[in-house]
Amino acid sequence: MTQSPVPITLRLIRKNASNKSQDDVITIFRETNDYKDDYESFKLRYVDGLADVRHEMYLSGNELDLYFDSLFSLVSADTEPFESLQVLAPGFPSVLFNASRVNMVKDHLLSVLPLLTDVHRVHRLAEYATY
């Protein structure tokens, strides 16, 4: 069975948006399946829902930490803020934060990233399930 790393998705939900395609979406992909170099190679895709613009960058784990530290500080201080931040991470429930409080919980959010370096999507649950 082929397995692939599962991305982490952050959805920045806009106030008064008419549909979710107007949200900004950040998706973090593990760039390699080689887990011997844990936490070293990620691709980050940022899609601006209003401007319909996509940015992609490649980051190490340390650079990713710095990116999120800056992002959470900026989102919390924004004068035209997003309404909320939704975190979709494999093995965790979907979590929704008030955007103005994201900076206060950033340490909790950043602590999740190293845990996700060896997570795979399971295509057929029956092989792995224990009842």
**Environment class of 125 (CB within 10 Å of its CB; exposed 0-12, middle 13-18, buried 19+):** exposed
- Report how far residue 7's alpha carbon sits from residue 91's, in angstroms, rounded to the nearest whole number: 11
- Sort 2 into a burial class: Cβ within 10 Å, 0-12 / 13-18 / 19+: exposed
Taking the C-alpha atoms of residue 94 and residue 88, their distance in angstroms, rounded to an integer, is 5
46 pairs with which residues across the strands? Answer: 26, 55
Position 53 scores a pLDDT of 93
Q: What SS3 class is residue 85?
A: strand
Helix H or strand E segment including 70 = helix 61-77
Q: What is the DSSP letter of 60?
A: -
Residue pLDDT, tens place only, 34-76 = 555 555 788 899 999 989 899 999 988 788 888 988 999 899 8
Do residues 62 and 91 touch, judged by C-beta distance below 8 A? Answer: no
Tally Cβ neighbours within 10 Å of residue 117: 16
Average pLDDT over residues 98-124: 69
In terms of average pLDDT, the best of 10-19, 34-43, 104-113 is: 10-19
